[in-house]
Amino acid sequence: MKYDGVMDMNDFWEGACMYTEVFLESRAVGQIFGLWSECVGERDFPYKALGMDEVGRLLLEAEPGVEKMTLLHESGRAFASGSYMEGEDRGFISMVLVAEDARRKGLGSEMLAALETEMKGRFRVRELQISYFDPINLVWEIPGHPGCEHPNSPGVELASPAYEFFRATGYREFSRQNSYFRHIGDYEIPMNIKEIEARLNADGYFIRVYDPDAMDGMSDLIDHLGNSMWRKSILGEPLPADGGRPILVLVKDGRVLGFAGPLDVEASGRGFFSGIAVDPSARGRGVAKVLFAALCANLRAIGADYMTLFTAEDNPARRIYEAAGFTIVKSWADMKKEV
């Protein structure tokens, strides 16, 4: 739902903290935009510079199945934002931002506590997370690579003061994520990967572009993997003939046993990456290495300059990315708190 003006701009109190819930009201959006712009480029705020309309859409404008909440301090020098996906018992803390001249006075902790209270009361959540499941995607720039960016932040950056801030306010770490980067303008499929693919072909496994009319098993595979995000990004993708993006799949006897993609190049030159998955029955053959190499090669062929991705620190898939020349550029903590 989109709000075009002030809706019950009531003041709330949390201890000594006076704040207002913000909707798409130009003065308040302007204050939030001003704070965002002031902090862009700081070590603990690596996010991309955005226009005022973009900040408003990102933090305030509801999306189908997603509600957002932003609280602005009466001084206009701090705000806290979060989100909630319908049908879940968890919410997400997207950011707590305090102007430099208002820091170290307890304002960030007060704004966070206010947001926690409001989200628990309105959405009846039992847990709040700072994780890659947050539907508010905060774009950040790759250090040392101007113009290269990643479309979301999977948690709290370990090297930032925000990590200790959330720890001090009761959030505990439940997973670590690493963000990887590689220029792929010079990518070539290594000879050892070509040899693995040749062996797979000999055994009846082939990499193809997904065609639901000629292949089955994709829905079963995603159900087995239990990833709701893939159900949306993979199964929800239209066919190329209908304007959708191609998805690379591993098939044997017409059945899908793995996928990677969709194939797409973003405006920044980033090769899109939703994920890679392999059915348990096909693992142990090097399938994931072949799928990922095919993805990199195809993205390069359609004009991608670079790729970014993230994966859990304990995910064996990281070895595939590292073997392909990807390096870690940031590390993150997924954190949560019961409320």
**191 and 172 part of one domain:** no
Decide: residue 58, CB within 10 A, 0-12 exposed, 13-18 middle, 19+ buried: buried
**235 and 171 part of one domain:** no
pLDDT digit string (tens) for the chain, length 339 residues? 222 333 333 333 344 467 778 766 678 889 999 999 999 877 778 899 999 999 999 999 989 999 999 999 989 999 999 999 999 999 999 999 999 999 999 999 999 999 999 999 999 999 999 999 999 999 999 999 999 999 999 999 999 999 999 999 999 999 999 999 999 999 999 999 999 999 999 999 999 999 988 999 998 888 888 777 777 778 788 878 888 899 999 999 999 999 998 999 999 999 999 889 999 999 999 999 999 999 999 999 999 999 999 999 999 999 999 999 999 999 999 999 999
How high is the pLDDT of residue 204?
Answer: 97
Does 117 reside within a domain?
Answer: yes
Q: How do strand 172-183 and strand 206-209 relate by DSSP bridges?
A: unpaired
Does 85 reside within a domain?
Answer: yes
The pTM for the full model equals 0.87
How high is the pLDDT of residue 260?
Answer: 94
**73 and 47 part of one domain:** yes
**43 and 135 part of one domain:** yes
**212 and 237 part of one domain:** yes
How high is the pLDDT of residue 44?
Answer: 74
C-alpha closest to that of 21 among 154, 119, 163? 119
Query: Can you read off the two tokens belonging to residue 5?
Result: 């003006």
How high is the pLDDT of residue 53?
Answer: 92
**150: Cβ–Cβ under 8 A, 6 or more apart, which residues?**
139, 140, 142, 179, 181, 270, 308, 310
Dihedral, CA atoms, 61, 109, 128, 131, nearest 10 degrees? 80
Does 208 reside within a domain?
Answer: yes
C-alpha 314/C-alpha 48 separation (Å) is 28
Q: Is 19 helix (H, G, I), strand (E, B) or coil?
A: strand
C-alpha 151/C-alpha 140 separation (Å) is 7
Structural domain range at position 147: 11-176
**129 and 240 part of one domain:** no
How high is the pLDDT of residue 15?
Answer: 42
C-alpha 300/C-alpha 242 separation (Å) is 23
C-alpha closest to that of 250 among 197, 207, 220? 207
**118 and 189 part of one domain:** no
Task: Using the structure block, give the residue that is written with the tokens 């550029």.
Answer: 329
CB atoms within 10 A of CB 317: 17
How high is the pLDDT of residue 8?
Answer: 33
Does 313 reside within a domain?
Answer: no
- Return the CATH number at 139: 3.40.630.30
Q: Are 56 and 30 in contact (CB under 8 A)?
A: no
Of 176, 196, 212, which closes a domain?
176
The residue type found at 28 is: A
C-alpha closest to that of 161 among 36, 329, 19, 46? 46
Decide: residue 87, CB within 10 A, 0-12 exposed, 13-18 middle, 19+ buried: exposed
**62 and 43 part of one domain:** yes
Phi-psi region of 269 (alpha: psi -120 to 50; beta: other; left: phi over 0): left
**115 and 41 part of one domain:** yes
**129 and 217 part of one domain:** no
Of 139, 158, 176, which closes a domain?
176
Task: Tell me whether the omega of the peptide bond preceding residue 262 falls within 30 degrees of 0, making it cis.
Answer: yes
Does 137 reside within a domain?
Answer: yes
**224 and 154 part of one domain:** no
**145 and 202 part of one domain:** no
CB atoms within 10 A of CB 161: 15
C-alpha closest to that of 136 among 78, 61, 86? 61
Decide: residue 290, CB within 10 A, 0-12 exposed, 13-18 middle, 19+ buried: buried
How high is the pLDDT of residue 149?
Answer: 95
> DSSP E strands: which ranges in 184-302?
206-209, 248-252, 255-261, 270-271, 275-278
Does 335 reside within a domain?
Answer: no
Q: Starting at the edge strand that comes first in sequence, how are the strands of the sheet with 255-261 ordered? A: 206-209, 248-252, 255-261, 275-278
Long-range contacts of range 52-55, CB-CB < 8 Å, 24 or more positions apart?
A: 55/29
C-alpha closest to that of 32 among 47, 5, 53, 62? 53
How high is the pLDDT of residue 79?
Answer: 95
For the chain, how many structural domains are there in total?
2
